[in-house]
Amino acid sequence: MQVGNNQNSGLQSVPRLNKHSGGKVPTAAVSAETLQTGEVQTKKAESAMLRQAAIKGGKLMDINGEKRIQVGNDWYRPYVDRNGYDENFLGDRLDLPTLDPSIKSKAAPRVDDPSRNELEYTNFSIVMNKERRMPFFTAVNIDGKTVKEVERGDKWLFDPRIEREHQLGNEAYKNNDIDRGHMVRRRDAVWGDNAEQGSTDTFVYTNAAPQHKDLNQHEWLDLENRVFDKAQAEGKKMTVLTGPVFRDDDPSFDNNGRMQTPTKIPQDFWKVVVWKDPEKGLQSEAFVMSQKHDLAGNSGPELDLTQESQFNTFRVPLDQLQDMTKLNFGQLNNDCKSAQLMDRSRPLHEQLV
């Protein structure tokens, strides 16, 4: 099925100074030594950005107070000293998912260290599928106690730490019904001292996957709201893992010829929510939502997921999700029943059984 509209770069980065410091200098005691340290860190960051730009002959520019790298017609945002996903955030260690040997070679390597695949951002990390040019998975820590309100940005840029050819750009999203679906939701990363940077960091093409607007702006958004609202209301810490389900029979997609290199568009997306119970330890729930019928043009009625029980239709056991994604979720386990993927071409009451 062909899906369309219903109507070379490799830039170097440098290792972060401290995985979980966010690159910020403590402000409790502002001494001359502290200020000097801050100046050194600022110079190191500036130097790292310049190296990222120079490796491809790009220009480091200041656009409205934000550093950006221009390479031809493409714009990159330099990522320096990002804390990334914290595996100890919940108290009990939770490592990133691992890729099955059958798909491990498809992970996009970093230009600065080809042995590494993790891309660190503010409060989250991503591992990319270089063939599909979308995330294998994203992993974000959410601290409900320190969530902040910051101005929303909307400028999507590329990541210089992997090849441009391993990232889908605006060519996949213009003049059609396909949204840039945030895999890490913007609000999920907007907490702590670097909340504003967290918001900006989510607007990177490595964090996007093609989602039909009817899924992205409705059921998927309902699920995102359910997770975030619970974390914020209860002041909880949560970890959220998200990504597309990649299948060989996913429909080809070239955005009506606008994409020089076509891709395949995912028919399903998954999300795993993890928290720590004081008595039971790490707990999780997993969901899968489908856009198969949206892509075929028969979305059916919009679902109103205001009742908690209505989310049960989307739940999947982790072993089923592992089979679907070829990802290993390590320490996690749950025993929920196998889900029947929601079909919006059928009335809701016929499916919630």
Q: Using the predicted structure, report yes or no on whether residue 146 has a pLDDT greater than 60.
A: yes
Higher pLDDT, 99 or 59: 99
Distant-in-sequence, close-in-space partners of 119: CB < 8 Å, separation ≥ 6:
79, 110, 125, 126, 127, 128, 159, 161, 162, 206
> 330 near 98, Cβ under 8 Å?
yes
d(CA 160, CA 75): 9
More confident call, 53 vs 102: 102
Say if 75 falls within a structural domain. Answer: no
Across the range 116-132, mean pLDDT stands at: 98
Provide the pLDDT for residue 298: 74
Rounded to an integer, what distance in angstroms lies between the CA atom of residue 334 and that of residue 327? 15
User: Does residue 22 fall inside a structural domain?
Assistant: no
- CA angle 43/125/277 to nearest 5° reads 125
* Lowest model confidence (mean pLDDT) among 147-161, 210-224, 309-323: 309-323
At 204, is the pLDDT very low, low, confident or very high (cuts 50, 70, 90)? very high
How many domains, in total, are found in the chain? Answer: 1
Residue at 198: amino acid letter: G
Least confident of 4-13, 235-244, 291-300: 4-13
**Model pLDDT for residues 25-43, shown as the tens digit of each residue:** 333 444 555 445 556 666 7
Phi, psi of 204 (to 5 degrees): -130, 140
**Of 91, 8, 117, 93, which Cα lies nearest the Cα of 55?**
8
Per-residue pLDDT at 37: 58
State the chain's mean pLDDT as an integer. Answer: 83
Looking at residue 56, its pLDDT comes to 61
Mean per-residue pLDDT for 319-324? 94
Query: Which strand ranges, in their side-by-side order, compose the sheet holding 66-71?
Result: 59-63, 66-71, 74-76
Cα separation, 166 vs 170, whole angstroms: 13
**What pLDDT does residue 92 have?**
93
Handedness of CA 113, 114, 115, 118 (dihedral sign): positive
Checking if the pLDDT of 7 tops 70, the result is no
Collapsing DSSP to helix, strand or coil, 54 comes out as: helix
Cα–Cα distance between 317 and 68 in angstroms, integer? 42
Could you tell me if residue 27 is inside a domain? no
Q: What pLDDT score does 101 carry? A: 97
List all residues 6 or more positions away from 277 whose beta carbon is below 8 Å from its beta carbon.
Answer: 283
CA distances from 234 to 55, 143, 225, 231, 240 (A): 46, 10, 14, 6, 16
Average pLDDT over residues 178-206: 97
Residue 84 has a pLDDT of 98
152 falls within a domain: yes
pLDDT-above-90 percentage for the chain: 57
DSSP string, 194-256: THHHHHHHT-BGGGEEEEEHHIIIIIHHHHHHHHHHHHHHHT-EEEEEEEEEP-TTPPEE-TT
Structure tokens at 289: 């939502």
pLDDT of the residue at 172: 96
Highest mean pLDDT of the ranges 1-10, 57-66, 122-131, 294-303: 122-131
Query: Per-residue pLDDT tens for 13-29?
Result: 333 334 444 443 333 44
CATH code: domain of residue 234: 3.40.570.10
Mean pLDDT computed over 79-86:
95
pTM: predicted TM-score of the whole model, two decimal places? 0.82
- Note whether residue 61 is domain-resident: no
338 or 179: whose pLDDT is higher? 179
The answer to whether residue 62 sits within a structural domain is no
Give the per-residue pLDDT at 302. 60
Contact 340, 316 (CB under 8 A): no
Residue 38 included in any domain: no
**Cβ(123)–Cβ(147) below 8 Å:** no
Residue 313 banded pLDDT, cuts 50, 70, 90? confident
For the chain, counts of helices (H) and of strands (E): 7, 17
Q: Residue 327 pLDDT > 60, yes or no?
A: yes
Q: Is residue 29 part of a domain?
A: no
Parent domain of 300: 2-7+83-351
